[in-house]
Amino acid sequence: MVANRAAFVVLSMMVLLMGAGDAGAEPVDHYGFMVDRRASYDECVACHDGSVAKAAVYCLQDCSFRTPHSILRRYPPPGREAAYRPVESLREAGIELAGEMVVCISCHNLGNPPPYHLAVDNSASRLCLACHIQ
Ligand code: HEC
Ligand code: HEC
Ligand code: HEC
């Protein structure tokens, strides 16, 4: 029942976008769906769980270089600030956090072109190095 699920998700998005006080919402056309460019990770995953769109790969626990990237981690990680660029320089690069957390929109900007709608072009690992100092 992918069609029903899609309709439900679109409806939820519309309710969300029209929601009172949601001043930060920035709807963009995303493959025929109006999606908030600042959608939370669970809004992204509502479609990107393989139901409406291809499943996103990410890591919530026991993350390492062997797993997909972690999300819902504080930026910069407490005690390891020296290995990460200052939040101010992320903003300049076009990278967003949700509160202090790394989420989908930290690496993806739905307003940017395909493939992958990356927040920062990742040639020569520029996206990674916008946060990680190496
Ligand atoms: C209403 C459903 C919906 C929502 C919500 C949604 N997407 Fe998508 N997304 C799609 C569809 C449909 C496609 C194109 C088909 C596919 O990739 O399966 C797509 C494609 C993408 C792609 C491109 C994949 C590629 O091959 O280039 C990325 C990256 C992506 N979405 C990220 C996100 C992020 C990040 C969010 C949250 C900020 C999000 N999407 C929210 C439906 C959605
Ligand atoms: C640390 C950065 C980072 C985070 C966080 C991140 N992504 Fe991605 N994502 C990427 C990169 C880079 C790619 C390009 C393909 C690759 O290198 O795997 C990608 C690819 C994708 C694709 C296309 C996958 C494919 O098979 O074509 C989708 C869809 C996607 N991401 C959605 C999401 C969603 C939804 C979230 C949040 C749950 C998320 N991403 C979190 C960096 C990230
Ligand atoms: C928005 C900032 C940001 C971007 C962009 C980013 N990272 Fe990270 N990354 C982090 C943070 C924060 C952690 C630390 C998570 C923790 O341990 O609390 C981390 C952790 C990691 C880890 C350790 C395992 C894990 O997932 O926690 C690896 C490996 C990694 N990043 C590689 C990458 C690569 C490769 C890219 C580019 C595709 C990338 N990162 C892009 C912020 C970022």
Contact present, 47 and 94 (Cβ < 8 Å): no
Residue 54 CB–ligand 1 contact under 6 Å: yes
* Low pLDDT (below 50) residues in the chain: 1, 19-21
The per-residue pLDDT for 24 is: 76
**Residue ranges per structural domain of the chain:** 1-56, 57-134
Q: Measure 56 CA to ligand 2 centroid, in angstroms.
A: 6
The per-residue pLDDT for 134 is: 77
- CA-closest candidate to residue 101, choices 123, 71, 130, 128: 71
The per-residue pLDDT for 20 is: 43
The reported pTM is 0.91
The per-residue pLDDT for 19 is: 47
Residue 68 CB–ligand 1 contact under 6 Å: no
What does the alpha-carbon distance between residue 36 and residue 46 come to, in Å, rounded to a whole number? 13
Q: Measure 49 CA to ligand 3 centroid, in angstroms.
A: 21
Cβ contacts of residue 14 below 8 Å, gap of 6+?
34
Q: Measure 133 CA to ligand 3 centroid, in angstroms.
A: 11
The per-residue pLDDT for 3 is: 59
What does the alpha-carbon distance between residue 15 and residue 54 come to, in Å, rounded to a whole number? 23
The per-residue pLDDT for 56 is: 97
Choosing from 30, 43, 116, 127 the residue with most ligand 1 atoms within 8 A of its CB, the one to mutate for a pocket test is 30
The per-residue pLDDT for 26 is: 92
